[in-house]
């Protein structure tokens, strides 16, 4: 299928061939009829892409600060690689979609195949969208009209925050698509509306919809006009739908309002507020969040947990329904807002229009019909990127499941450098997989994980997905008699771990001895290898102190979700449990967790005891400063000390013949870790990490996570 993608690095827009997504749990697969180009949001993204690095930095000062902090801890080169990798990833555009349901995932109710629905789906021939972000389209509403639903919901949510009453006076600043729909919806509420803009054509449309207007291009004073419009009392409310860096819209809104008036920002403006503007009138100022309650809440959007109507009357989905009702009975008229139409094949012309000087308003993209592109072709879940794979002497043919940031920045480059032949890459939505496939030379990209297990040419599976899928994918790889590399963790529960052990045993019994590997890369880092050599010369037990300045992650992030991510002890602290297990070279005989009382439970001290008498403490802290090293390892042994900071500088204290080891760039061992896995398959050697150690570390980690949760 075809999808519109935009490069954040160059600003170029392309129509790419990507595999069709599947309707996952709680999702709806939709064949697109129309999409609407959001001139404001999409122009901003395209303009950002076209800006140079300095221009991008000026637009995102918060990101610049993060980059500078990362340079201090990780070094310049790794930081620049991270930045360029992020900019290199294509961005799917669009969020105003109408089409026909092709399929529904498990747990979806109330939406059936064949239904016509609106959603916040992208500009693509087919989209998979959570059910809570879809709404059925009434028969009397055309595809053209329905494509405006999501923008209408944004306008409606701003109005709901203003809470207008019959007869109130409301100013709408900025008469783009959202502003003009806001005018109509306010008129339907029984409000008197004053619209402000510089564009005479948009002002004429606002007048057509029943608003009085102020042409800002003539120098007319909007504050004085608003005073007259409100009969000298000051307007009851102002809704700002403009997009500008200026602070003037908010300042003017404050001057226009009566005492205790309301101001809602739907668009984007400067926010250097004057206290005096707001203080004397006790004004209320609020920023509206997109389509309404539920937006950016993963429980609502991804897991389908609706808000009870008795407590949250208007959610995103119910706002969609309300807009569709207004379209159906004619109280909201969007036909005059359509200025241009383009077939999907000419989408580049649409974006030239958006970023150019020619006037435009509602730009519709029209998609091929079933007669032009049958469903069977549209829903193909695999695309071939290179019809013939380049000749390779590698005995490792890899299928990669997951193509997120870590996979494309670290794992896939490491496997490519190690000489693995890259055959197929799997992603859920298809876009990131195609990007990885093009960049690293995969032959195929797919949204169907089954294809890599069923492909007889693939003998190694690399897993870089969310943590809750790891154990199942490892088991499926073993059942398919393929070697498997899983990004940590191996499993989230003892039951999952026991199943993996059983599947490996069954594979061996069937005559296949799989290399099972977890991405515990720290033990392969050059500094750690040096430390291992040094401490092997020291007799007696050792003391290890691992300080991880992990930084805070929001409680609603998927890694904090026990079901999806397992929490940060399982998801990340496992790295350091494995590291100390490797350095001690002795089994763990006891473990204990001491936890700081926080909502997320991700600030803890984990203590380990080893059967050679060594002890270890892992201070995994989420409450520190980013100015401090992120990872510091200290080892006390035989009257000597080793200290490693951020895998860049190792110091020895009292160590004969050793003082320091420095690297120009941070090296946490990822490349060597991948190479060791590839080499073990190529030459039939033993697994780089003994399977018994992987199981031991996993069991200890799961036990410690249980202590943290209890």
307-337, pLDDT tens digit by residue?
999 999 999 999 999 999 999 999 999 999 9
Could you tell me if residue 547 is inside a domain? yes
Residues 7 and 50 in one domain: yes
- Structure tokens given for 66: 């993060």
pLDDT tens-place string over residues 218-232? 999 999 999 999 999
Residues 404 and 507 in one domain: yes
User: Which position has the token pair 């079901």?
Assistant: 563
Residues 549 and 653 in one domain: yes
Determine the pLDDT at residue 54. Answer: 64
pLDDT band at 45 (very low <50, low <70, confident <90, very high): low
Could you tell me if residue 342 is inside a domain? yes
- Structure tokens given for 644: 């490693």
Residues 110 and 18 in one domain: yes
pLDDT band at 415 (very low <50, low <70, confident <90, very high): very high
pLDDT: which is higher, 668 or 71: 668
pLDDT tens-place string over residues 108-158? 999 999 999 999 999 999 999 999 999 999 999 999 999 999 999 999 999
Dist. CA 314–CA 293, nearest whole Å: 7
Residues 637 and 660 in one domain: yes
- On whether the CB atoms of residues 456 and 394 are closer than 8 A, the answer is no
Domain boundary among 501, 518, 535: 518
Strands (E), 348-494: 362-366, 382-384, 397-401, 421-426, 444-446, 460-463, 483-486
- Model confidence at 49: pLDDT above 70: no
Neighbours of 113 (CB within 10 A): 12
Determine the pLDDT at residue 392. Answer: 66
pLDDT band at 354 (very low <50, low <70, confident <90, very high): confident
Could you tell me if residue 292 is inside a domain? no
C-alpha radius of gyration, the chain, whole number: 29
- On whether the CB atoms of residues 255 and 277 are closer than 8 A, the answer is yes
Could you tell me if residue 216 is inside a domain? yes
> 177-188 vs 149-162: helix axis angle to the nearest 10?
60
Helix (H, G, I), strand (E, B) or coil at 328: helix
Our separate counts of H helices and E strands in the chain read 26, 31
Parallel, antiparallel or unpaired: strands 284-287 and 362-366:
unpaired
Dist. CA 212–CA 187, nearest whole Å: 11
Could you tell me if residue 329 is inside a domain? no
Determine the pLDDT at residue 386. Answer: 83
Neighbours of 232 (CB within 10 A): 8
Query: What phi and psi, each to the nearest 5 degrees, are found at residue 488?
Result: -60, 150
Residue 620, domain CATH = 3.30.360.10
Q: Which domain holds residue 697?
A: 521-709
- Structure tokens given for 172: 């709408």
pLDDT tens-place string over residues 494-541? 999 999 999 999 999 999 999 999 999 999 999 999 999 999 988 899
- Structure tokens given for 374: 């049958």
Query: What phi and psi, each to the nearest 5 degrees, are found at residue 378?
Result: -60, -40
- CA-nearest of 546, 536, 642 to 586 is 536
Question: In 441-545, which residue ranges form alpha helices assigned H by DSSP?
Answer: 450-454, 470-479, 494-509, 526-536
- Model confidence at 652: pLDDT above 90: yes
pTM over 0.85: yes
Residues 120 and 212 in one domain: no
pLDDT band at 691 (very low <50, low <70, confident <90, very high): very high
Could you tell me if residue 300 is inside a domain? no
Dist. CA 277–CA 266, nearest whole Å: 20
Bridge partners (DSSP) listed for residue 375 = none
- Model confidence at 556: pLDDT above 90: no
Residues 567 and 656 in one domain: yes
Residues 76 and 167 in one domain: no
Residues 71 and 185 in one domain: no
Domain boundary among 518, 539, 556: 518
- Model confidence at 86: pLDDT above 70: no
**Which strands, in side-by-side order, build the sheet including 588-595?**
588-595, 604-610, 615-621, 543-549, 631-637, 640-645, 649-653, 660-662
Dist. CA 46–CA 696, nearest whole Å: 50
Residues 493 and 549 in one domain: no
Dist. CA 592–CA 607, nearest whole Å: 5
Whether omega for the bond prior to residue 489 falls within 30 degrees of 0, making it cis, is yes
Dist. CA 368–CA 351, nearest whole Å: 19
Residue 54, domain CATH = 3.90.180.10
Residues 433 and 350 in one domain: no
- On whether the CB atoms of residues 30 and 119 are closer than 8 A, the answer is yes
Could you tell me if residue 613 is inside a domain? yes
User: Which position has the token pair 């001895």?
Assistant: 513
Domain boundary among 492, 518, 544: 518
Task: Go through 194-217 and write b for each residue having 16 or more CB atoms within 10 A of its CB, e for each that does not.
Answer: bbbbebeebbebbeebebbbbbbe
- Structure tokens given for 115: 């239904």
Determine the pLDDT at residue 390. Answer: 59
Neighbours of 265 (CB within 10 A): 22
Determine the pLDDT at residue 60. Answer: 63
Q: How many Å separate Cα 230 from the centre of its chain?
A: 45
- CA-nearest of 151, 563, 94 to 319 is 151
Burial class (CB in 10 A: 0-12, 13-18, 19+), 710: exposed
- CA-nearest of 598, 576, 383 to 488 is 576
Question: In 35-120, which residue ranges form alpha helices assigned H by DSSP?
Answer: 39-50, 53-59, 61-74, 76-88
Residue 216, domain CATH = 3.40.50.720
Residues 204 and 118 in one domain: no
Provide the number of structural domains found in the chain: 4
Q: What are the distances in angstroms from CA 499 to CA 511, 565, 597?
A: 19, 19, 33
Determine the pLDDT at residue 444. Answer: 96
Would you give the DSSP letter of residue 169? E
Could you tell me if residue 354 is inside a domain? yes
């Amino acid at each position: 299928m075809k999808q519109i993608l935009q490069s954040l690095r160059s600003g170029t827009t392309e129509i790419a061939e990507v595999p069709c997504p599947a309707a996952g749990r709680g999702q709806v697969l939709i064949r697109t009829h129309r999409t609407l180009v959001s001139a404001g949001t999409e122009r901003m993204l395209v303009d950002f892409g076209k800006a140079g690095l300095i221009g991008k930095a000026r637009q995102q000062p918060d990101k610049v600060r993060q980059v500078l902090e990362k340079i201090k801890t990780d070094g310049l080169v790794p930081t620049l690689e991270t930045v360029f990798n992020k900019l290199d990833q294509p961005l799917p555009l669009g969020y105003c979609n109408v089409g026909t349901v092709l399929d529904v995932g498990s747990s979806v109710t109330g939406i059936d195949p064949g239904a016509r629905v609106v959603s916040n789906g992208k500009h693509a021939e087919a989209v998979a969208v959570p059910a809570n972000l879809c709404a059925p389209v009434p028969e009397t509403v055309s595809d053209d009209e329905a494509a405006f639903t999501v923008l209408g919901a944004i306008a409606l949510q701003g109005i709901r925050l203003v809470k207008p009453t019959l007869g109130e006076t409301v100013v709408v600043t900025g008469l783009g698509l959202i502003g003009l729909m806001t005018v109509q919806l306010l008129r339907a509420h029984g409000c008197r509306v004053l619209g402000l803009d510089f564009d005479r054509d948009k002002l004429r449309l606002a007048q057509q919809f029943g608003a009085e207007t102020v042409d800002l291009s003539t120098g007319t004073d909007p504050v004085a006009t608003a005073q007259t419009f409100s009969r000298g009392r000051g307007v009851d409310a102002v809704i700002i739908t403009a997009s500008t860096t200026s602070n003037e819209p908010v300042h003017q809104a404050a001057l226009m309002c009566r005492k205790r008036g309301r101001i809602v920002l739907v668009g984007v403006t400067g926010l250097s507020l004057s206290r005096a503007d707001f203080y004397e009138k006790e004004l209320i100022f609020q920023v509206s969040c997109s389509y309404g309650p539920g937006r950016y809440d993963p429980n609502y959007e991804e897991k389908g947990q609706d808000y009870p109507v008795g407590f949250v009357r208007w959610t995103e989905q119910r706002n969609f329904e309300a807009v569709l009702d207004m379209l159906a009975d004619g109280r909201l008229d969007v036909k005059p807002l359509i200025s241009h139409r383009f077939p999907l094949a000419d989408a580049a012309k649409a974006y030239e229009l958006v970023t150019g000087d020619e006037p435009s308003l509602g730009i519709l993209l029209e998609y091929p019909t079933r007669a032009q592109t049958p469903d069977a072709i549209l829903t193909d879940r695999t695309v071939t990127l290179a019809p013939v794979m380049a000749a390779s002497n590698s005995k490792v043919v890899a299928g990669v499941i997951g193509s997120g940031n870590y996979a494309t920045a670290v794992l896939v480059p490491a496997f490519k450098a190690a000489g693995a032949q890259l055959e197929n890459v799997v992603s859920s939505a298809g876009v990131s997989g195609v990007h990885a496939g093009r960049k690293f030379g995969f032959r195929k990209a797919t949204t169907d994980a089954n294809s890599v297990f069923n492909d007889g040419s693939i003998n190694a599976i690399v897993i870089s997905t969310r943590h809750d899928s790891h154990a199942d994918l490892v088991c499926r790889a073993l059942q398919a008699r393929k070697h498997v590399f899983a990004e940590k963790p191996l499993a989230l529960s003892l039951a999952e771990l026991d199943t993996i052990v059983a599947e490996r045993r069954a594979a061996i019994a069937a005559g296949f001895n799989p290399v099972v590997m977890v991405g515990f890369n720290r033990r392969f880092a050059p500094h750690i290898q040096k430390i291992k050599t040094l401490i092997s010369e020291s007799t007696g037990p050792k003391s290890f102190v691992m300080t991880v300045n992990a930084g805070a992650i929001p409680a609603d992030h998927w890694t904090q979700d026990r079901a999806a991510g397992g929490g940060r002890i399982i998801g990340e602290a496992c790295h350091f449990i494995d590291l100390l297990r490797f350095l001690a070279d002795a089994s763990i005989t006891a473990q204990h967790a001491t936890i700081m009382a926080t909502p997320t439970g991700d600030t803890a001290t984990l203590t380990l005891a080893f059967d050679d008498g060594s002890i270890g403490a892992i201070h995994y802290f989420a409450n520190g400063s980013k100015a401090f090293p992120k990872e510091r390892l200290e080892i006390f042994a035989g009257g000597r000390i080793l200290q490693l900071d951020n895998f860049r500088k190792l110091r020895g204290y009292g160590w004969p013949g050793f003082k320091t080891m420095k690297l120009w760039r941070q090296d946490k061992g990822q490349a060597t870790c991948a190479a060791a896995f590839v080499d073990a398959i190529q030459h039939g050697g033993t697994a780089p990490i003994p399977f018994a150690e992987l199981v031991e570390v996993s069991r200890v980690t799961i036990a410690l996570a249980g202590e943290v949760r209890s």
